[in-house]
Amino acid sequence: MSIEVKNITKYYGTQKALDNISFTVKKGEIVGFLGPNGAGKSTLMKILTTYLQPSEGEAFVNNFNIKTQALNVQKSVGYLPEHNPLYLEMYVKEYLEFNASIYKIAAKKATIEEVIQKTGLTAEQHKKIGQLSKGYRQRVGLAAALLHNPEVLILDEPTTGLDPNQLAEIRNLIKNLGKNKTIFLSTHIMQEVEAICNRVIIINKGKIVADNSLADIQNNHQQVLEVEFDIRVEAQLLQKLTHINKVENIHDNLWELTFDTEIDQRSQVFDFAQANGLKMLQLSHKNKNLEAIFREITV
């Protein structure tokens, strides 16, 4: 496993920031780590990168123990923190050379050129970091995280401040990196998770409340069907369907039906139409987007 978290709990004084958290992340996974502000996301990321120690439990990154093998963890992880710490008076290339020296990278010049190109910093490499926009500063932080070719990337809000074009470029970069690396990223942008990640972990009040593939989270949380009949139907009649949770008229004879079950309800809706002398013009699954699911399970 690239990341293994076992019963991690973290206290700040009497406040419990993380409550018995456990999960594993395999090599090659791109995992979105989601949660409201104050849920414990940044705390766990700081623990995985050895900036903080847990109050209880243990964790391993690339099979290195975060407590007893902290230096090995740091060498094998690329970390972009939420508040990207940069030396604003340094030039971009100078800053990357400084970081490459810390990591004792042998082919320093070629490596720096490669990460500059990957992160789209070619035109900005001779500028001072303090002259860059927030989006380009994020790119510098990401470039620094990639310098030593880490097996695991831990990214806390990696696309903060990027414009739509930059966002698309960094998303593509992260997806490409995920072919050979494990990526564990936190973000508040749900569309970003839907575009990049193949698995989602949602944390709320220090506890994991969801951990599954994106498709399974959308399919298993609730079942939503969109159905259109040939004539008007009364809502009260639809509310008699088994497992029905919500009936909403979208427009005219088009309805959205939400069921509290994982069992496919299309056959029930088909039987309902036949029994009531109705014709169905369309019937299809309509998965809730991640943002709607997130709001429901983190209230």
DSSP secondary structure letters along 78-116: EEE-SS----TTSBHHHHHHHHHHHTT-SSHHHHHHHHH
Overall pTM surpassing 0.85 (yes/no): no
Q: Distances in Å between the alpha carbon of 186 and those of 128, 279, 285?
A: 28, 46, 29
Q: What Rg do the C-alpha atoms of the chain give, in angstroms?
A: 24
May I ask the CATH architecture of the domain 221-297? Answer: 2-Layer Sandwich (3.30)
**Tens digit of pLDDT at every position of the chain (299 positions):** 799 999 999 999 999 999 999 999 998 899 999 999 889 999 999 999 999 999 999 999 999 999 999 999 999 999 998 888 899 999 999 999 999 999 999 899 999 999 999 888 999 999 999 999 888 898 999 999 999 999 999 999 888 777 888 788 888 888 888 888 999 999 888 888 888 998 999 999 999 999 998 878 776 667 889 999 999 999 999 999 999 989 999 999 999 998 888 788 999 999 999 999 999 999 998 767 788 788 878 87
Q: What is the identity of the amino acid at 189?
A: I
pLDDT of residue 220: 64
Report whether 230 contacts 281 (CB < 8 A). yes
pLDDT of residue 219: 67
pLDDT of residue 165: 82
Q: What are phi and psi of 166, to 5 degrees?
A: -65, -40
Domains of the chain, by residue range, sit at 3-212, 221-297
Domains 3-212 and 221-297 share a fold: no
Q: Which 3 state secondary structure label does DSSP give 286?
A: coil
Report helix angle 164-177 to 134-146, nearest 10. 10
- Return d(Cα 292, Cα 94) in angstroms, integer: 44
- Return d(Cα 195, Cα 275) in angstroms, integer: 42
CATH top-level class for 3-212?
Answer: alpha beta
Q: Distances in Å between the alpha carbon of 71 and those of 53, 65, 178?
A: 14, 10, 24
* Distance spanning both ends of the chain, measured CA to CA: 32
DSSP 131: G
pLDDT of residue 56: 97
